Amino acid sequence: WNKNEHTIHLLPHWTWTGREGQVTPVYCYTDYPSAELFVNGKSQGRITKNKDSRLDRYRLRW
């Protein structure tokens, strides 16, 4: 992490050949307290971090 700047990173790559029409989990690694995911302009929801969870401190999943 760069402590002087906020970080947000989405993964994985979701346009792999052969995965058309399949659901792909999206992960967001961030130092923000929450994040909202948009796909084609439509909100998929906002998730707030669970600071008590070791995994959810920085990783959010849709």
In the prediction, which pLDDT does 19 show?
Answer: 84
| CA–CA dist 29, 32 (Å, integer) | 9
In the prediction, which pLDDT does 45 show?
Answer: 92
In the prediction, which pLDDT does 60 show?
Answer: 73
pLDDT at 1 over 70: no
In the prediction, which pLDDT does 43 show?
Answer: 95
- Among residues 30, 32, 28, which one has the least CA distance to residue 44? 28
**pLDDT digit string, tens, across residues 27-62:** 888 888 899 999 889 999 998 887 776 665 566 776
| CA–CA dist 9, 31 (Å, integer) | 10
- For residue 53, give the 3-state DSSP assignment: coil
**Total-model pTM:** 0.72
Q: Which domains does the chain have, with CATH numbers?
A: 8-61 (2.60.40.10)
